[in-house]
A and B are shown apart, each in its own frame.
Chain A
Amino acid sequence: MRRLIALALPLCALALTVTGTGGGAVSASCAKADLPLVNDGKLTIGTDNPAYPPWYGGGTPKGSKWKINDPSTGKGFESAVAYAVAKQLGFPRAQVEWTYVPFAKSYAPGKKSFDFDINQISYSPQRAKVVDFSNSYYDVSQAVVVLKGSKIASVRSVAGLKGYTFGVQIGTTSYQAIVGDIKPSSKPRVYDTNDKAVFALKSKQIDALVVDLPTAFYVSAVQIPNAKILGQLPAKPGGEHFGMVLQKGSPLTGCVNKALAALKAKGTLKKIQATWLSKVVGVPVLK
């Protein structure tokens, strides 16, 4: 019987934690008062911690729980976009709350702890089966970062990359770009964080790192001064874009999309991009 109880306990715990569902009331109105919010009167926005440049900026004020950058500074691309969307929805800065959401938590089942999550998450039809994605707030391409003067630094084509060891952060579409487009002969190394992948490149455990282009600028300019962007990988048909993640079937998704469309029409999104992201000109596309 003791063995039985030992078996039953975790199952009980599972049963107890499995509460709450997706969905929610369907409201067509995007008036602030009608929005179904996680916390009343506040727009709760999620992102991962640490918050990396160029997506987040401004450092961390004293007493902040955040590492590297505090999203509430309004600095950095995603922070600026989030505040612009919030404003469009009728929330001044004081009514915006940031919450820490590890990547895996953003798509875990159950009631979400955020109204939307903005964390460089690429849209894919498979992912969209379990969460809602907003429309694109950034069209992204993948880039290859290598050490200056290394053997791979003189490669000019995707086919030429096959013989090298790649590193990548787990859970990224950069991983799919490696196994799907580059198809290297040895398995890529997959790291839990981008920092570990960067460290691996620095210490020459890998020949190249694949990241999204804005991150590539940050890695090559700040994290490894001895690195350079070898080039962008050719865009896939339909391209790749970042979307905010929301509870599946959330009525808020339509409102966020409306806000994004308005920001695009006004040119605000373009302006934010020009402020926080390096210009992508001058990065060759690997054929």
Chain B
Amino acid sequence: MRSLSEGRRGVVVALLSTAVVFTGLGFAIVNAPGWPEIRRQFFDRHEFTSTFPDIASAFLLNVKIFCISEAFILVLALLLAVVRSLPGPVFFPLRVLAIVYADFFRGVPTILVITMLGFGAPALALKGVPTSTTFWGIVALVLVYTAYVSEVYRAGIESVHPSQAAAARSLGLSHGQSLRYVVLPQAVRRVIPPLLNDFIGLQKDTALVGVLGSIEAFKQTQIDQAATFNFTSGLAAAVLFVAVTIPLARFTDWLVARDRRRQLAGAPA
């Protein structure tokens, strides 16, 4: 047990070191020879307020892309993870496919997948193939993130002790039933935090769809930047992205804490 005064001293030290570090940093930055220029081109109040509304309306596209892709990713990634954990030699080709898929789309940079699909697919000029850049941007994001998220699900499935599945099978449940009623409910609950972590990444990567020509928040900042040679609009976009990310991050923290409480509640005192 630490004494009360010791704990109080810790708080004071933390406060002091925080103050010293940030005052020092602030001082170094504000007194840098280029600071007036940086302030004019990165932190211009007028530029911020005048570009914010346009960026906010462009940000709606980011939100739309995020919401649609997230729904598809959640389902497809689970399917992929299940396919990868299918037992028996019959399913070997499916397992190989799932592994190749996950390896490929985790290895290729997201921006490359978006560029190739977004410019390539509509250029085929096939009847019935959509030419919407946002559509292909979403497809690319779903492809890439499904690979990531399937690994998260797989980790969850593998973390469920084999005795669970064995017990389910011994009760007469089929492989599918034991997966559905015993393994997956436990697996998914365990991986919710890393799952949400991937979705924070996805939120930010919606900005990559801009390379296809859709005007999303980041593209809008580039447009504003080029018009006035002022980078402040980037700050406006950052505020918007963070405003969406932080609640999700806190929600994740809360979920983790709740899970911990529940697990500990059952433990002997």
Contact = CB atoms under 8 A, between A and B. Distances in A.
Interface of A: 1, 4, 8, 11-12, 14-15, 18-22, 103-104, 107-110, 124, 126-127, 129-131, 167, 170-172, 175-176, 187-192, 196-197, 199-200, 202-206
Contacts of A197: 213
A15 B34 CA distance: 10
B213 A109 contact: no
A191 B35 CA distance: 32
Give me the 6 closest cross-chain CB pairs, A-B, nearest first.
Answer: A171-B226, A189-B213, A203-B123, A107-B229, A18-B32, A109-B37
A170 B215 CA distance: 10
A88 B215 CA distance: 43
B234 to A, nearest CB: 11
A192 B212 CA distance: 8
Interface stretch (B164-172, B189-197, B217-225): B217-225
SS class, residues of chain B in contact with chain A:
helix
Contact of A205 (B14, B37, B131): B131
B21 A4 contact: yes
B223 A14 contact: no
11 contacts: A11-B25, A12-B25, A19-B32, A126-B229, A129-B230, A130-B230, A189-B133, A190-B210, A205-B122, A205-B133, A206-B213
B25 A204 contact: no
A189 to B, nearest CB: 3
B119 A196 contact: yes
A4 B226 CA distance: 34
Contacts of B211: 192, 196
Contacts of B212: 189
Given A18-B29, A21-B36, A171-B223, 6 more contacts: A8-B22, A19-B33, A22-B37, A167-B213, A190-B210, A190-B219
